[in-house]
Structure 1
Amino acid sequence: MTDAEVTVQLLVEEPSTKQALGVILPKIVPNVPFEIVQFQGKQDLLKRLPGLLKGYAVRLEWELLRIVVVIDRDLDDCAELKRKLVRIADDAGLPRSAVLFRIAIDELESWFLGDVPALCAAYPRVPANLGEQARYRDPDATGKALRALEHVLKSNGYHRDHLAKVKAAVGIGVHMDVEANRSRSFQVFRDGLRRLVSEGS
């Protein structure tokens, strides 16, 4: 089989994640069909996840599916949340080789801060040396990536009232270089998705 025969189903919590992944995914796994399903927040996703994964497990009998769940950690213990998700997948009869769980800790905004050239392409007044500044040297360690990104944009004259997350996600995402992103969390997502697609192909 070839990678093109694999279909990726992504389950996400919010519109900005859906819109960003819509433009980023084709750069990570070109020519792989995908569908992004957006829920009404974390609790809605968790409530519906057991039934959805059971459905995917049945479809695996005749479809080459790979499922990616992107969910916010919020105040949950990361390890416990991961165990909970794995239990749901196991109970649904879904092979672990067919599913990737990504627990996000302000992840999307960390990804944007990890690609300063893309950030500058979308927002030209953002300084090109942003990644050299101490606070932004490690995009995954800004403390609160959403607030950090909002600060960067507001201080340079963008999104002054509030951060328009969907607009920012698409605007930055279209310029992202998936091979050069400095965010470790992005690299883990990128490499995990590629393994998920290639191992079953």
Structure 2
Amino acid sequence: MLSGFTTKFSTSSQQFTVLNRIAIEELEAWFLGDATAICQAYPKVAQLFTKRTRYRDPDAVKGGTWEALEALLKGKGYHQGGLNKVEAARTISEYMQPQNNQSPSFQCFNAGIQAFFR
């Protein structure tokens, strides 16, 4: 119990008022976790990019997730002046399907949100 608020961690019941989640990795990991959304937002990107070692685990991308997303998109002719993070976020998020996301951190966050509204 946190100052009268029941946290998800502190209760065995399904009723809680506080959900603690800390985003450790960059948000772009969550975008990389939904390859279909990226391909729909940026049609020149082939879904096969997920087979490349760098992109297999969106939460463990080496060299930074925004840099990896930028490289992926620039390689197909998008964001040639550098990744516009706000524009990319708006564009990709339109197509995201939470249940299909391959990012474990996204799934943890999403499960917490879903539990909050049950």
> What TM-score results when the alignment is normalised by the length of structure 1?
0.51
Query: In proportion to residue count, which structure has more helix?
Result: 1
Runs of 4+ in 1 over 3 A off after TM superposition: none
Matching residue of 1:103: 22
Q: Distance in 2 between matches of 1:137 and 1:193?
A: 25
Corresponding pairs, count: 109
Q: Distance in 1 between matches of 2:98 and 2:66?
A: 20
Give the C-alpha shift of residue 102 in structure 1.
2.1
Question: 5+ unaligned residues in a row in structure 2: which ranges?
Answer: 8-15
Query: In proportion to residue count, which structure has more strand?
Result: 1
Give the C-alpha shift of residue 95 in structure 1.
2.6
* 2:98 is the counterpart of 1:178: yes
Q: State the identity as a percent.
A: 46
TM-align CA RMSD: 1.6
Q: Distance in 2 between matches of 1:107 and 1:193?
A: 19
State the secondary structure of the residue aligned to 1:101: coil
Matching residue of 1:193: 113
State the secondary structure of the residue aligned to 2:19: strand
* 2:47 is the counterpart of 1:136: no
* 2:36 is the counterpart of 1:117: yes
Q: Distance in 1 between matches of 2:70 and 2:41?
A: 14
Note the alpha carbon deviations across 1:38-88, whole angstroms, 9 max, x for none.
xxxxxxxxxxxxxxxxxxxxxxxxxxxxxxxxxxxxxxxxxxxxxxxxxxx
AA aligned opposite 2:51:
E
Question: 8 Å contact 1:120–1:128 — kept in the other structure?
Answer: yes
Q: Distance in 2 between matches of 1:100 and 1:158?
A: 37
> What TM-score results when the alignment is normalised by the length of structure 2?
0.83
Q: Distance in 2 between matches of 1:93 and 1:153?
A: 47
Question: 8 Å contact 1:107–1:145 — kept in the other structure?
Answer: yes
Question: 8 Å contact 1:106–1:146 — kept in the other structure?
Answer: no
